[in-house]
């Protein structure tokens, strides 16, 4: 009898919007891997049970998405260095001895999309990061490693941004701010790492921050555009980019860690954008 295929999934809430099952199915097809990848909707109060249940039933790996990237930490026995620095995970691997190891591929996925796919310069530029949740945590150190002139973190709950900036000071020039402090400032790149888009909202960023040279990148994925990207384009920015490339690149690195083979992202990204 043929053994059942290896099982993987993404866990989040809400999860209907997730393209991860589609992306991993394409990777599996491309690399000849026998596996299934599903989506698990877990409300915060059910997270522990759903994670334990998935691995107890033989699951090999999970991607972790909004809002669970920090909440899942107590369930893990090991963390990679980058997940420890981030204090957030976006993937879990089950080792042969059953131990659960957390890792974080969000930062490398974003950096690869910005620098390799899109050619957006980071070194010596002023960057603004919106949001201080699980996704923001994963991308701060990888961005600082590219030596921007400064990284400013703004968040609705400003205390969280200030605390996060304090935590990442050993990695580069970074500070926290309130949205209303940003009015007269200019940034080469603005990255939206809030979950405002899930509610069809945009973060309270003063429009004065945008100009014709600004690049705006939204971690949120949508087929054509997102509320934030649309809003930025309406205010005349140089480029407004939804986060499809990051989604595919962080998925490719998850796939590599689980299956030991790196899929080619170019065709999968092109097909995702054409869906
Ligand atoms: N493209 C990709 O590969 C990729 C990868 C990772 C994440 N993401 C996306 O990134 C987003 C954030 O995920 P997460 O895991 O960081 O979520 P999270 O941990 O729940 O954090 C949410 C963040 O958004 C802020 N926020 C929520 N609603 C807001 C609003 N209306 N106005 C301003 N700020 C608001 C929160 O501010 P407070 O602290 O004030 O509550 C917090 O900083 C999600 O849309 C997720 O899908 C995409």
CA of 65, closest atom in ligand 1 = 15
CA of 17, closest atom in ligand 1 = 47
Length of the chain: 275
The CATH number for 12's domain is 3.40.50.10860
Whether 148 and 173 have beta carbons less than 8 Å apart is answered as yes
List all residues 6 or more positions away from 181 whose beta carbon is below 8 Å from its beta carbon.
154
What pLDDT does residue 222 have? 81
The whole domain housing 220 covers: 107-242
Q: Is the CB of 195 under 6 A from ligand 1?
A: yes
List all residues 6 or more positions away from 42 whose beta carbon is below 8 Å from its beta carbon.
11, 12, 13, 50, 51, 68
Q: Please tell me the total count of domains within the chain.
A: 2
| pLDDT tens digits, one per residue of 61-103 | 999 999 999 999 999 999 999 999 999 999 999 999 999 999 9
DSSP letter at 115?
A: I
Please check whether residues 227 and 173 belong to one and the same domain: yes
Is 129 inside a domain boundary?
yes
Q: Can you give the pTM of this predicted structure?
A: 0.96
Catalytic member of 69, 101, 112, 227: 69
Please check whether residues 204 and 252 belong to one and the same domain: no
Please check whether residues 235 and 255 belong to one and the same domain: no
Helix runs in 4-77, H state only: 20-31, 47-56
Helix runs in the chain, H state only: 20-31, 47-56, 81-86, 106-111, 134-144, 158-168, 227-234, 244-259, 265-274
Is 1 inside a domain boundary?
no
Tell how many helices (H) and how many strands (E) occur in the chain.
Answer: 9, 12
Ligand 1, pocket-test mutation among 73, 129, 195, 199, most atoms within 8 A of CB: 195
- CA dist 229 and 204 (Å) reads 14
Is 237 inside a domain boundary?
yes
Please check whether residues 229 and 252 belong to one and the same domain: no
CA of 133 to the centre of ligand 1 (A): 6
**Phi, psi of 40, deg, nearest 5:** -120, 120
Answer whether residue 180 shows pLDDT above 80.
Answer: yes
Is 232 inside a domain boundary?
yes
Q: Please, what is the Cα angle at 23 between 267 and 134, to 5 degrees?
A: 120
Answer whether residue 254 shows pLDDT above 90.
Answer: yes
Is 169 tagged catalytic?
no
What pLDDT does residue 182 have? 96
The CATH number for 200's domain is 3.40.50.720
Answer whether residue 1 shows pLDDT above 90.
Answer: no
Mean pLDDT, residues 34-40 taken together: 98
* Percentage of the chain modeled with pLDDT above 70: 100
Mean pLDDT, residues 219-240 taken together: 94
Please check whether residues 53 and 131 belong to one and the same domain: no
């Amino acid at each position: 009898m043929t053994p059942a295929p290896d099982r993987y999934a993404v866990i989040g809430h809400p999860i209907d919007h997730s393209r991860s099952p589609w992306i991993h199915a394409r990777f599996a097809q491309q690399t000849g891997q026998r596996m299934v990848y599903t989506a698990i909707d877990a409300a915060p109060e059910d997270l522990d049970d759903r994670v334990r249940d998935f691995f107890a039933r033989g699951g090999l790996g999970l991607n972790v998405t909004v809002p669970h990237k920090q909440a899942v930490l107590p369930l893990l026995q090991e963390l990679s260095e980058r997940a420890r620095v981030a204090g957030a995970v976006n993937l879990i691997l089950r080792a042969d001895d059953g131990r659960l190891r957390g890792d974080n591929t969000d930062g490398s996925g974003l950096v690869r999309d910005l620098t390799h796919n899109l050619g957006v310069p980071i070194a010596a530029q002023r960057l603004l990061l919106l949001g201080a949740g699980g996704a923001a945590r994963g991308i701060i150190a990888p961005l600082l490693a590219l030596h921007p002139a400064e990284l400013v973190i703004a968040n609705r709950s400003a205390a969280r941004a200030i605390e996060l900036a304090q935590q990442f000071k050993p990695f580069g020039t970074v500070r926290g701010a309130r949205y209303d402090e940003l009015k007269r400032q200019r940034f080469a790149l603005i990255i939206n790492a809030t979950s405002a888009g899930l509610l069809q909202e945009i973060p309270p960023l003063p429009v004065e921050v945008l100009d014709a040279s600004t690049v705006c990148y939204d971690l949120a994925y949508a087929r054509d555009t997102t509320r934030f990207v649309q809003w930025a384009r309406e205010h005349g920015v140089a480029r407004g980019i939804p986060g499809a490339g990051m989604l595919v690149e962080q998925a490719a690195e998850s796939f590599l860690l689980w299956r030991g083979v790196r899929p080619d992202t170019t065709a999968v990204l092109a097909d995702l954008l054409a869906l």
